[in-house]
Structure 1
Amino acid sequence: MSIKRRQFLFLTGLNSVTLAGILTKMFNTHTNALELSNASPLKTNPIFRFVSVADTGTGGKDQFAVAEAMRRYYLQYPFDFVILGGDNIYEDGEIEKIGDVFEKPYKALLDNKVKFYACLGNHDLRSNNGEWELEYPNFNMAGRYYTFEYQPIQFFALDTNINADWKAQLNWLEKELSNSKAPWKIVFGHHQIYSSGMYGLNEEFIEILTPLFKKYQVQVYINGHEHDYERTRPINGTTYLTCGAGAKQRLVDISEWTEYATSDFSFAAFDVYNDRLIVRGIDVNNHIFDQGVIKLFNN
């Protein structure tokens, strides 16, 4: 097994116990990636497909590489929309950059009428508090927090930034979750909750958001902010998916909740069925490096 130089430098700073555990995980996930690299998504037809990616808005070659992988995936497995998980315009949310950091990279998808549903990241607030992005039609944001449905899923977009109106937003979220008739519920926002990346656990969000996820049976939370890919094991029934390696990358560790983690540039793809979701991590070479099944809550 080869280890990239940046990974080697990181590993040499760890004690022997931690190092042994990480090497074991790296070996297992490396082997898993090899096994899945030539795997095709299931041949049975899902109800629909969507993908998610975050921290994209650089306009650089790495964003274009991930966007091109999304285009190639779409040609073989057409998806209906993209969850865009914030930091849509680097560095400061300047709407005049929208052509370079969004319209050009995703032109092929936009030309095929693929919709994008965005949320606001911390960088997006640096210009006009994100208002210009809220008004940009191709981001399809019906407010700083909003909901939409693709049966059998209801999606809930959050404003996870520090200046969000949290009292109003939490009241709205609980009301919408309690009224939802959809069997599947997916929440997305920019900031992490369970993460093995640079920012780690978000204790405040664990306190205020995860009880609602458990109470109303939210199966998935999608985020960016961490520039990596990480899929957790279900935690009280909820899988936490970080897909923030859409244009930038940082090293990611592993934790007791981690099912798979990598810093490779990537996006996540979902196949939706009545009784399960299939989620896959896909890199710029269109290799499937991670694959997991998310099931409905069992009461």
Structure 2
Amino acid sequence: MMMPTKNKTHATILLVVCVAVAAAFNVAAAELQRFDHLPVKADGSLDILVIGDWGRRGLYNQSQVALQMGKIGEQLDVDFIVSTGDNFYENGLIDEEDSLFDESFTQVYTAISLQKQWYSVLGNHDYRGNVLAQLNPVLTHKDSKWLCLRSFIVNSGNVEFFFVDTTPFQDKYFTEEDQKYDWRGVLPREEYLSNVLKEVEMALEESSATWKIVIGHHTIFSAGSHGNTQELVDRLLPILEAKEVDLYINGHDHCLQHITSQNSQLQFLTSGGGSKAWRGEVKQWNPNEMKFYYDGQGFMALRVTENEIGVAFYDVFGEIIHSWSSSKHTHMDF
């Protein structure tokens, strides 16, 4: 059986992306959209890059991070890129014609290795703008690598990625008086949140993937300036632990971070160093849980094989500053 080429894989995704985005654009609480992005390397491995909190027209070292992503992306022959949200600062996009999209995305991530599919979730800064603009297939027509949905699934064979729209979970965004948020498609809020949790739990339950990875913008646990997100600790974390999720990957705090759980196999990974960083606010943390914290710019690489998963954090100079791996044995029934 012939393996599909990367170009064919990309083309297949693009054929369905407009339909999928249009569905999410109109129906926020529908069943989670699912995309197949299967490994194309001969050994079945999958390599991705993860970046968050980036869209600042190349400023605050965004361009330098993008440059290193391009180099590492070529070395690793990456399959796709994940964005953990806060894609456009300070207040998302005005509309589909906003020049911020080109100046912060298309004109920054220009390396050949980064012209792969980008899977993006929304952050709280994105919700301050026209949310529906970021979800609109018009942007995919402008730049074919762009795909942003609220919550969705990417199936990559041995690993499945579950993207979760975390901004509506946080109470403070609904009471802040100095910021406005675009809640179209989210209200009534509790119904929306209940649907998201139910859909994620069901999808995790039905998943037969060896590795399960959940991606959201907001932290669950973090020693950074934003700290823990209690609403996710209360409502999402129990599901992740019960369904034996391997990694929770987020942005929001502008740092690179790795916290391990003492209650489960779950690892908490922050990749929010896409541009503005160096806040200098680090909370004390149990050293048995805090494996790595870097208060600066950078990004994360993730490699998945049938039996092993590996993570590497890169700084703005393209140097590996932390790595971690785990393995598990799979059993086949005959």
Q: Same fold (TM over 0.5)?
A: yes
Q: Which residue of 2 aligns with 1:60?
A: 58
CA contact 1:219–1:294 (8 Å) conserved in 2: no
CA contact 1:219–1:296 (8 Å) conserved in 2: no
Which of 260, 272, 281 is residue 244 of structure 1 equivalent to?
272
**Residue type at the aligned position of 2:223:** S
Which of 153, 157, 172 is residue 151 of structure 1 equivalent to?
157
Shift of 1:297: 9.2
CA contact 2:51–2:299 (8 Å) conserved in 1: yes
1:70-219 to 2 correspondence within 5 Å? 70-94=69-93, 95=96, 96=98, 97-109=100-112, 113-128=115-130, 130-135=131-136, 136-137=139-140, 138-141=145-148, 143-162=149-168, 164=186, 165-219=192-246
CA contact 1:195–1:201 (8 Å) conserved in 2: yes
Aligned residues between the structures: 252
**Residue type at the aligned position of 2:107:** K
Q: Which residue of 2 aligns with 1:17?
A: none
The C-alpha deviation readout for 1:169-228, integer Å capped at 9, x for no partner, is 001111111111111111101100010001112222111111111111110011011000
CA contact 1:217–1:297 (8 Å) conserved in 2: no
CA contact 2:49–2:73 (8 Å) conserved in 1: no
Shift of 1:285: 1.3
The C-alpha deviation readout for 1:97-133, integer Å capped at 9, x for no partner, is 10011111112247x64110000001111222x1111
Q: Which residue of 1 aligns with 2:177?
A: none
Q: TM-score normalized by structure 1?
A: 0.79
CA contact 1:237–1:297 (8 Å) conserved in 2: no
Query: Within 1, Cα distance between the matches of 2:298 and 2:329?
Result: 28
**Residue type at the aligned position of 1:226:** D
The C-alpha deviation readout for 1:32-80, integer Å capped at 9, x for no partner, is xxxxxxxxxxxxx670100101000111331101000000112222111
CA contact 1:54–1:225 (8 Å) conserved in 2: yes
SS of match in other structure, 2:134: helix
Q: Which residue of 2 aligns with 1:48?
A: 46
Query: Within 2, Cα distance between the matches of 1:171 and 1:213?
Result: 12
Query: Within 2, Cα distance between the matches of 1:267 and 1:173?
Result: 26
Percentage of matched positions with identical amino acids: 29
Q: Which residue of 2 aligns with 1:14?
A: none
Q: Which residue of 1 aligns with 2:323?
A: 291
**Residue type at the aligned position of 2:84:** G
Q: Which runs of 5+ in 1 are unaligned?
A: 1-44
CA contact 1:239–1:294 (8 Å) conserved in 2: no
Q: TM-score normalized by structure 2?
A: 0.71
**Residue type at the aligned position of 1:82:** I
Query: Within 2, Cα distance between the matches of 1:294 and 1:240?
Result: 14
